[in-house]
Structure 1
Amino acid sequence: MGKKGKNYYKRKGLGGDQHHQSQGAEQGQENQGPSGWRYDSRGDKPTFQSDAFDEYYNTQALLPPEEWKETVECLRTPLPTSFRVMDLGVSSEIVKEQAKKFQEEISKLHPGQFQELPFVKDGYQETVSMLPALALKGELQQDSLVLDICSAPGSKTSQLLEMLNECPRPDPSKPPEGMVVANELVVKRAHLLIHRLRHHNSPNLVVTAHAGQAFPSCFDGATGRKIEFDAALCDAPCSGDGTLRKSPDLWSRWHPNAGLSCHRLQRSILKRTATLVKVGGVIVYSTCALNPIEDEAVVGSVVAASEGALELSVWKEPPQGLKYEKGVSSWKVKSGGRWFSNFEDAERELGEGKNARLVKSSMFPQASEGVDLSKCVRVYPHLQVTICDPS
């Protein structure tokens, strides 16, 4: 599994629009990997090695050395094929039964063969990708308004629709009164999302195409009242270095600046999401990056800046069998080939130029009361010896 950083918040509400959230070498013959690996965009075979990656994460010391070594070795192995069956009534139960019956045969399929199966022609969802939406399980009611602010390609949106439909309601013969708003910046990807979700035939889905950091406020057409969401999922754009098992071509392209470049956008989207959620609402922030600058730094800085309007909460009911580590509270920032423990040193030593512009004060650990980053969740691939039950 690639890493998914999950941060779980609830909005406390201190006036205004303040909210709370709660809570992923040189190429040689010996490094070509098993046949299941994909070639990179240039047609080259993956290298499974990056000195820059090793140096960066060895310095960050996210885990004890021996345990981190296990993580890296696991990242060099193919990602096990997994899929989730959408809850669409009788047909889904039949697929589940058949999948369990032929589990051994399915597990032997090459990824390319698996994708040709009729019931996965619209795509399949990796186990780790299921976790962010599951963090909202138990938080929703049948009339909840839910925002999936970075939703394409739609697998997590599908989960949210199913969870909403599973909520008890006065008349089970009628659809829920709530709604899932699935937002995607790129219009073509929004169309893909609609295509993938068509099987739900749900009246509870609205698809929008806006930049997450500039998502507009919504108002009731009849009363003019501002609409606030009960819950939100912010699965932010990221460097994706937790997906090396799925995309081994990332090894050769990995660079510490990728995380720095993502940080500002991630903060902007998370901050905007917080303003759209009502007091007492819940937000899950997640990425598929290992980098604390994209994970804990984003969460910690946004919560600290809220001046008490946001607070971190623990994941109340993680899936049975899921093993994870707590969030980290100490890390460094690398820019221009140098490491920095605080913004003041970086600002002084980097001076002006590209490297200086990339580094922001929000990237460093925040010394703020009430920001307990140990409540965040880090999922590492080597911990998942057995497949957890995401149900």
Structure 2
Amino acid sequence: MGYLQGVRQNYVSSQFDKTNENFCTYYKSQKIVENDEEWDAFMAALKSDLPTSFRIQGSSKEVELLTELMNKRYLEPLAQSEEDSDVIAPKPIPWCRNTFQTPLSRTEIRSRPALKEFHNFLVTEAELGNISRQEAVSMIPPLLLDIKPDHKVLDVCAAPGSKTVQIIEMMHAHDKIPEGFIVANDADNSRCYLLVRQALKRMPTSNCIVINEDAVFMPNLTDASGQLLFDRVLCDVMCSGDGTFRKSPDMWQFWNPGKGLGLHKLQVNIAQRAVQLLAVNGTF
């Protein structure tokens, strides 16, 4: 989650002035792109609306049934509908199982009459825990960790819990009780309650533990062999929000270099402590 939380996505993206000279000056000096053409493409991407993506979760049979229902009742009719030519039905994300994405923003999905029933479906299934509305970029870290059912996993800054749920799904991929487990931590007590609601109430499992610790001073845990070290550590530290303009376009007017620079020491300290809890040959 970004350092600054933008407004809820009930805005019209075009209402915001998507310029910030400090941002351009700072990142041009970092030389993160090679030429002006790439810079223009980078800025155009930041100013575009954030696509809507979601993941169907549950046992393999539940996922199969819900996907079939969604396709027949909503997606196939939407693809053939002539009611609104700008409506683009969600399509599978090829690199992540059971996930779908449409270039339409959440605001557009809520506001278009042709999508009213599909929007109600998404809201209902999300409340039931069958669907997780999650940005595609957020799905990447758990995939890169290549988590197996017997892994011991630490999620250092876990709230609000979308990645934690994804990890739980990966551990239960074969619909059997896994030998491994995940320890999901967050330093904010109120966000731990959110984490419990997001992860454990929606994906009930005995293989997830939620703890409330300052990640910089994460205590040592022990098992029968001594200090517990983890096969996989997900360290998604708090960020400056520089890359979240698409989700929170109001941030264009607030951004300054001090946000990221002020968090740098804390980010490094959390990462250093997390590495200390990683087992030999583990993945961070």
| Pairwise same-fold verdict (TM > 0.5) | yes
Tell me, what secondary structure is at the counterpart of 2:153?
strand
Displacement of 1:98 after TM fit? 3.8
Aligned 8 A contact 2:53 2:136 in 1: yes
Displacement of 1:90 after TM fit? 2.9
Please give the root-mean-square deviation of Cα atoms over the aligned residues, in Å. Answer: 2.6
Higher helix share: 2
1:155 to 138, 159, 162: 162
CA distance in 2, matches of 1:206, 1:88: 20
CA distance in 2, matches of 1:272, 1:124: 30
2:13 to 3, 18, 37: 37
Displacement of 1:60 after TM fit? 1.7
Instruction: Decide whether aligned partners of structure 1 residues 58 and 99 sit closer, same or farther in structure 2, where only a CA change above 3 A counts.
Output: farther
Instruction: Decide whether aligned partners of structure 1 residues 242 and 124 sit closer, same or farther in structure 2, where only a CA change above 3 A counts.
Output: same
CA distance in 1, matches of 2:189, 2:110: 27
CA distance in 2, matches of 1:189, 1:88: 27
Aligned 8 A contact 1:182 1:208 in 2: yes
Aligned to 2:207: 204
Displacement of 1:264 after TM fit? 0.4
- Which runs of 4 or more aligned residues in structure 1 lie more than 6 Å from their structure 2 counterparts after TM superposition? none
What percentage of aligned pairs have identical amino acids?
35
Displacement of 1:260 after TM fit? 0.8
Aligned to 2:252: 251
1:282 aligns with 2:283: yes
User: TM-score, structure 2 length as denominator?
Assistant: 0.76
User: TM-score, structure 1 length as denominator?
Assistant: 0.56
1:229 aligns with 2:236: no
1:127 aligns with 2:139: no
CA distance in 2, matches of 1:175, 1:156: 19
Structure 2: runs of 5 or more not aligned: 2-9, 76-87, 91-101, 112-118
Aligned 8 A contact 1:36 1:78 in 2: no
CA distance in 2, matches of 1:175, 1:119: 24
CA distance in 2, matches of 1:119, 1:233: 27
1:218-276 Cα deviation digits (max 9, x unpaired): 012xx471111111000110101111111101110110111111110110110000111
Displacement of 1:112 after TM fit? 4.1
1:60 to 5, 30, 44: 30
Aligned 8 A contact 1:88 1:200 in 2: no
Structure 1: runs of 5 or more not aligned: 3-33, 39-44, 284-391
Aligned 8 A contact 2:60 2:173 in 1: no
CA distance in 1, matches of 2:196, 2:276: 26
Aligned length: 237
Aligned 8 A contact 2:230 2:279 in 1: yes
Map residues 47-196 of structure 1 onto 2, 5 A cutoff: 47-63=17-33, 64-101=35-72, 102-103=74-75, 104-105=88-89, 107=102, 110-112=108-110, 114=119, 117-121=123-127, 124-137=133-146, 140-166=147-173, 174-196=176-198
Tell me, what secondary structure is at the counterpart of 1:84?
strand
1:153-201 Cα deviation digits (max 9, x unpaired): 111011111111226xxxx6x5011001110111111111111122321
Aligned 8 A contact 1:48 1:248 in 2: yes
1:213 aligns with 2:216: yes
Moved more, 50-59 or 115-124: 115-124
CA distance in 2, matches of 1:129, 1:248: 18
Instruction: Decide whether aligned partners of structure 1 residues 105 and 279 sit closer, same or farther in structure 2, where only a CA change above 3 A counts.
Output: closer
Q: What is the one-letter code of the residue matched to 1:54?
A: C
Instruction: Decide whether aligned partners of structure 1 residues 91 and 184 sit closer, same or farther in structure 2, where only a CA change above 3 A counts.
Output: same
Displacement of 1:117 after TM fit? 2.5
1:31-55 Cα deviation digits (max 9, x unpaired): xxx96439xxxxxx52111011111
